[in-house]
Structure 1
Amino acid sequence: MSTQRSFAETLVAVAWSFAGLRRKRDFDRDVGALNPLYVLAAGVLGCALFVGVLLAAVRFATA
């Protein structure tokens, strides 16, 4: 039986998934333990951070 993961653990899992470096063993362990609302919030936060980094890089390159 797996326990519920914290928001910080969910952020780490989503960050590794964004990078495409998630091990199958970790994925299998997290499937039933991640809170879907935490995953959604982490995904939105990750996307916003990614877009922000891209915008900053474009501003830096064109300045």
Structure 2
Amino acid sequence: MKLLHTLRAVLWAFLGVRKRAGYEEDLGRLSPFAIIAVALVLVLLFVAGLIALVNWVV
């Protein structure tokens, strides 16, 4: 369940639309190392998806 909360917090951060109260709640509840790990995995998946899309189009 904590992984889902971390994933949700990172996805909100990617979009850039997060209320300050939600941000502060996440800071108190989630581990910084978990947030960084989830963010790195999501960035790698995003980049791999973009590369796959470009290869498919070309």
- TM-score, normalization by structure 2: 0.84
Number of positions where the alignment pairs a residue of Structure 1 with one of Structure 2:
58
Q: In the alignment, which of 9, 17, 30 is matched to residue 21 of structure 1?
A: 17
| Moved segments of 4+, more than 3 Å | none
Structure 2 alignment gaps of length 5 or more: none
Deviation digits for residues 25-62 of structure 1, max 9, x if unmatched?
21011111111121111111111111011111111210
Structure 1 alignment gaps of length 5 or more: none
- TM-score, normalization by structure 1: 0.79
Q: Could you say which residue in structure 1 is the equivalent of 2:37?
A: 41
C-alpha RMSD of matched pairs (Å): 1.4
- State the identity as a percent: 33
